[in-house]
Structure 1
Amino acid sequence: MQRLTIFILMLSSSLASAISEVNYDQVYQQEVMPFFKSQAEWGKFQTPDGITISHVFYQHPEPVADVVILPGWTEAGQKYAELIFDLYQFKFNIHLLEWRGQGYSERISSHPERTHVTTYEEYVIDLDTFLKTVVKPRAEGRRIVGIAHSMGANITSIYLSKGKSILDKVVFSSPMLDIKTAPYPEWVAWLIARVMELMGQGDSFLPGHGPFVKEDVVNISTRSETRYWKTVNYKAQNPETITNGASFSWLRSSLEATWYMKRNAHLITVPVLMLQAGDDFYVDTEGQDMVCKNAKNCFKIVFPSAFHEVYNDGDLVRSKAVKETVEFILDHF
């Protein structure tokens, strides 16, 4: 009976997109947000280094797997409301982690909207603690699959490289494995950030970064204006969730994290599905190609016209991304 159920779910995954951009705002407010708010079980835990981390859980009455959503840079949980709504239809329990400094998690920087870490090991602590103390006990022996976007994928890849992963397989969406630092090459950007740290400015905003101002926002993240502005409007209405810029220390540690992964991709042994955006304004694809090639079991799907946020793109790209994700989670059950 379980195999029949899974087979039916895989057939239905061709209709994986929850709602269309046609009448999107109306359906989103009437169906997605009520589900996101009413079914959410918010919680907090403390990491071994003393940081309070926020997370949210969606319990399915008949779960076949547990999915862990690991957001990208500056992202709060609400940004994944539509994806959570989608995945829940396939009988998945869903866990979402808000990294330190983001969403409702404890702020690290002296400015509440600034992303700041001195090493990505701090983020790995968030993930490792979350998986061990929150996710695994609730999974009750079911498969645990990570869905990690951008910065979240970089963090997750570092975690996976260390072995003894609680995650059985992972999906990387536009993983941040190379950072676009134009007009400077990466090593120059790293050097500038390091010099600023030595001058006592490691926790200062990068040039061009600063507090959120809705009127200054420009969409280079997704080809779906409807989905993009949904997130922007939510941020404007919920300022306590906003993270909007990065520090010099965050840039330096982020570059070091991408370099680490390109050297150590061969240490990733769990199955990986990589969703690559072909028209990405934030990250270069060379690092993604290198990591996927050298990881032990990585399959890549390219969306040539997609911007950075594949799960937040137009209907055609997004539907395929969700469909491939669902099939990857259910494959070889």
Structure 2
Amino acid sequence: MDDILYATPDNPVPGNHIAGYFEGNGGVKIRYAVFRSAMPVAKGTVVLLQGRNESIEKYFETIADLTAHGLWVATFDWRGQGGSGRMLSDPRRGHVTRFSDYEADLKQFLEQVVLPDTRLPFFLVAHSMGALVALSQAPELESRIDRMVLAAPFLALSGQALSQRSISVIANTASFFQLGGRTFRKDGTRPSFEGNVLTSDRRRFARNQAICDAQPQLAIGSPTARWLKEMLAAITRVSRQEHLTRIRIPTLVLCPTLDPIVPRTVLNGLARKFRAGRLIEIDGARHELFHEADRYRAQAMAAIDAFIPGSQAERTALGA
């Protein structure tokens, strides 16, 4: 167990956990962990879904916060990143063959790990790409997940040199010509805090960089053309009114207002079409809410604490 999860000096592994691997779609090896609360009676279990190029280690602080509030946490690394199996011979390329592979892995995780080994009721907390998968799967998860929290869901790809439409055309063309495993840019030098678009918190930025320095095999580089094609197609599909109408799980959408990747206008547009969703803006925060400065992160954690598990009156008000 100790060689499955990795600690760094300022990022200890939360206690009272189990870790291992399950078989994802197509036999891919998927790393997972379950963290139990020390409280004698659990309030339920949070299924924690990461964003792109993240790992279980990056969420140790958030996991410790959730278990301190009486919740268990079950989480896993998406295929192609973290401690899970890679899709290409070059392990640095962020690749997926089909978006539905992410969905299938989530289903397998719920069936093989969460349902038999954790505590009811089940809640889902997801960031960025993980929130996109959650939105896509939500109509099928109604019988299992009581509530969802989506932090900066990946519903746009802004702040790039090219427009989202141009990226989509190039990614689709590359995939059509069997070049889906190619990346559009070379991985650069070690990222610096100055100018980063993810967090305004220097300490957490350095902590997360130290994880990658100590365990470089957990990190990946630029996404492939196929990954971009699959993500952008999923964004288009889940943003449609007909899909959002099918989601009945009470959902909290956390919107960092200074996120250059997923602009607030996109998430405000989502909220207008999303009957089961409630939007909370966190003014001044950047994309990675769970790794932001305390004044922003505390707002996100407080919103989660108020929403999960939630009262029966709130459930009724949200149409659950």
TM-score scaled by length of structure 1: 0.84
Deviations 1:62-115 (A, max 9, x none): 211101110001101111111011111111111111100111110012311211
1:235 aligns to 2:251 (yes or no):
no
2:190 to 210, 214, 228: 214
Q: What amino acid maps onto 1:42 in structure 2?
A: A
Unaligned runs of 5+ in 2: 1-7, 313-320
Q: Is the 8 A contact 2:149 2:304 kept in 1?
A: yes
Task: Answer 1 or 2: higher relative contact order, Cα 8 Å, separation at least 6.
Answer: 1
Select the residue among 173, 192, 196 that pairs with 2:174: 196
1:44 to 1, 6, 21: 21
Residues 217-275 of structure 1: CA distance to partner in whole angstroms, max 9, x if unpaired? 75220010111111011101111211222000111111101000111222211010111
Give the 3 Å change call, closer, same or farther, for CA 118–287 of structure 1 in structure 2: farther
Work out whether residues 282 and 299 of structure 2, in 8 Å CA contact, stay in contact via their aligned partners in 1.
no
Partner of 1:136, secondary structure, is helix
User: Of 69, 93, 111, which aligns to 1:90?
Assistant: 69
* Rounded Cα–Cα distance in structure 2 between residues aligned with 1:40 and 1:163: 25
2:25, 2:101 within 8 Å by CA — same for their partners in 1? no
- Do the aligned partners of 2:19 and 2:32 also contact (CA within 8 Å) in 1? yes
Q: CA deviation at 1:29?
A: 4.2
Q: Pick from 256, 259, 270 the counterpart of residue 291 of structure 1.
A: 270
> 1:17-36 counterparts in 2 under 5 A?
29=9, 33-36=11-14
1:77 aligns with 2:53: no
More helix by share: 1
Once residues 40 and 241 of structure 1 are traced to their aligned partners in structure 2, the CA distance between those partners, rounded to angstroms, is: 20
The one-letter code of the counterpart of 1:224 is: D
**Contact 1:222 / 1:228 at 8 angstroms: preserved in 2?**
yes
Aligned residue type for 1:170: M
CA RMSD, aligned part only?
2.0
Matched length:
300
Separation of aligned partners in 1, 2:12 and 2:174:
45
What is the match of residue 187 of structure 1?
165
Matched, 1:255 2:225: no
Query: Is 1:57 matched up with 2:57?
Result: no
Task: Provide the rounded CA distance (Å) in 2 between the counterparts of 1:254 and 1:284.
Answer: 17
CA distance in 2, matches of 1:243, 1:57: 24
In the superposition, relative to structure 1, how do residues 117 and 193 fare at CA in structure 2: closer, same or farther (>3 Å)?
Answer: same
Amino acid at match of 1:223: S
CA distance in 2, matches of 1:247, 1:113: 10
Letter in 1 for 2:115: K
Compared CA separation, residues 113 and 86, structure 1 to 2 (3 A): same
Deviation at 1:215, TM superposition (A): 5.6
- Which residue of structure 2 lines up, in the alignment, with residue 6 of structure 1? none
How far, CA to CA, are the matches of 1:158 and 1:55 in structure 2? 21
Is residue 2:172 matched to residue 1:170? Answer: no
Structure 1 SS opposite 2:87: coil
The aligned counterpart of 1:158 is 136
Q: Tell me by how many angstroms 1:128 deviates.
A: 0.9
C-alpha displacement at 1:181, in angstroms?
A: 6.2
Q: Is the 8 A contact 2:142 2:248 kept in 1?
A: no
Task: Provide the TM-score with structure 2 as the length reference.
Answer: 0.88
Query: Distance in 1 between the 2:180 and 2:289 partners?
Result: 31
Mean alpha-carbon deviation: is it higher for 181-190 or for 165-174?
181-190
> In the alignment, is residue 103 of structure 1 matched against residue 82 of structure 2?
yes
Q: Letter of the aligned partner of 1:137 in structure 2?
A: P
- Which structure 1 residue ranges, 5 or more long, are not aligned? 1-27
Counterpart position of 1:224: 201
* Range with greater deviation from structure 2 (123-132 or 43-52): 43-52
Task: Report the equivalent of 2:5.
Answer: none
Task: Give the Cα–Cα distance (whole angstroms) in 2 for the partners of residues 64 and 244 of structure 1.
Answer: 37
Distance 2:111 2:274 in 1: 24
Distance 1:178 1:285 in 2: 10
Paired residue type of 1:250? W
Aligned counterparts of 1:163 and 1:86: Cα–Cα separation in 2: 25
Match of 1:149 in 2: 127
Distance in 1, Cα, partners of 2:228 & 2:181: 11
Q: Which amino acid in the other structure matches residue 190 of structure 2?
A: K
Determine the structure 1 residue equivalent to 2:250: 271
Aligned-partner Cα distance in 2 for 1:41–1:224? 30
Question: What's the CA shift for 1:294?
Answer: 2.2
The sequence identity of aligned pairs, in percent, is: 25
Q: Secondary structure at the match of 1:279?
A: coil
